[in-house]
Each structure stands twice: as C-alpha cells, then as structure tokens.
C-alpha cells in the first residue's frame, strides 16, 4: 500500500523522472524502518544501495537493493515490519544569506524483504557492483561467488517515489 499523505508544498515537487534520477545517482541513502518492539524506536540506517527503475509486480517504481550481514538490528526490524521508506539527498547546500538550505531529495516508500534464493541475491549484488564498481565485472563476480553464502541481500519493492526541492531552487528555474 503506497504512502497516502499528499505533499503539502506541491510547487516544490519534482517530476517522476527527476525523482528516478535522484534515486539512481545518490551517493547513499537512509533506510527507515519501524524499529523493533524490543527497543520501541524507529530505526534509520545509512546504506550503499542500487536502484533499478524497472517496474515489477508489487514494485511499480522499481526496486532498491542493499546488502549486509545475515543478522542484525536492521534485519530484525524488517522481520517485524517490512514497510519502510528510503531517503536520498542529491543536493544539500547551506545558504546562510537566505537563512535556508538548498536541497533536492527523493523518498521511496514500499516493502522490504530478504532475498531468499541465490539467483535473486546474486542479481542484487550484481546491481550493487554495476553501481559502485563499474568496469570491474570479473572482480565483482568473483567477490559475489566467494561471499554469497554469508551475505544478506534486501530487496525493497518501491510502491511510491516522490522528490522535492527547496522553494529557492524552484524560483530560480527559468
């Protein structure tokens, strides 16, 4: 189920293509989960990620892949509640003379799950390799084969994607 809260400042909303571009090009993102019942706090964790804007059943905006250890707080939180958001900030510049920050960011909403079969885990790791290690396909493939059994891959099916920029950037557009 997509997020249903409308954006309050509609003029600042970026196009769908701009939202995809921010997701595809960000250096890192922050995964936000509901946390666990044991701690009672939401949990946000910065991650390396790969965004693939290829619609699939249950993922009309595409998928986000990230990886890590096969156990830990992040996976515990996802097991309790797979509904998550993922935030990428593409631009952030303090403008003291304007008393503001000039930003462009995107936020994805959806459900995350642990990839269970080797083919899907491999696909996620290959997407990360293409993203962060272009031109090193053989090295990435060898690393994947050597670490596949001890690596968790999380797949976020993106149900909604929105992006926004500072009003000052909107006003500066031609």
Q: 3-state DSSP call for residue 126? A: helix
Angle between helices 137-147 and 118-132 (to 10 degrees): 140
Q: What whole-number distance in Å separates Cα of residue 71 and Cα of residue 54?
A: 28
Number of alpha carbons in the 13 Å side-chain half-sphere of residue 34? 14
Question: What local confidence, expressed as pLDDT, does residue 162 receive?
Answer: 93
Question: What local confidence, expressed as pLDDT, does residue 10 receive?
Answer: 73
- Mean pLDDT on 20-45: 93
Res. 32: pLDDT tops 90: yes
pLDDT tens digits, one per residue of 59-114 = 788 999 999 999 999 999 999 999 999 999 998 888 898 888 888 999 999 999 99
Q: Are 129 and 66 in contact (CB under 8 A)?
A: no
Question: What local confidence, expressed as pLDDT, does residue 93 receive?
Answer: 86
Domain positions in the chain: 10-167
Question: What local confidence, expressed as pLDDT, does residue 5 receive?
Answer: 63
> Domain 10-167 belongs to what topology?
Pnp Oxidase; Chain A (2.30.110)
Question: What local confidence, expressed as pLDDT, does residue 74 receive?
Answer: 94
Whole-number percent of the chain with pLDDT over 70: 95
Please give the structure tokens belonging to residue 146: 């050597």
């Amino acid at each position: 189920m997509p997020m249903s809260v409308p954006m309050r400042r509609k003029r600042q909303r970026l196009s769908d293509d701009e939202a995809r571009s921010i997701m595809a090009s960000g250096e890192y993102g922050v995964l936000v989960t509901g946390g666990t019942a044991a701690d009672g706090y939401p949990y946000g964790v910065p991650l390396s990620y790969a965004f693939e804007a290829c619609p699939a059943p249950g993922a009309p905006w595409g998928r986000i892949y990230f990886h890590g250890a096969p156990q830990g707080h992040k996976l515990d939180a996802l097991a309790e509640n797979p509904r998550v958001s993922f935030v990428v900030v593409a631009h952030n510049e303090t403008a003291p003379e304007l008393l503001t920050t000039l930003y462009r960011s995107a936020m994805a909403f959806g459900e995350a799950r642990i990839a269970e079969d080797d083919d899907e885990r491999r696909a996620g790791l290959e997407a990360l390799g293409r993203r962060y290690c272009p031109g090193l396909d053989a090295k990435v493939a060898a690393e994947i084969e050597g670490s596949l059994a001890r690596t968790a891959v999380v797949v976020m099916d993106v149900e909604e994607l929105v992006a926004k920029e500072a009003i000052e950037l909107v006003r500066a557009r031609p």
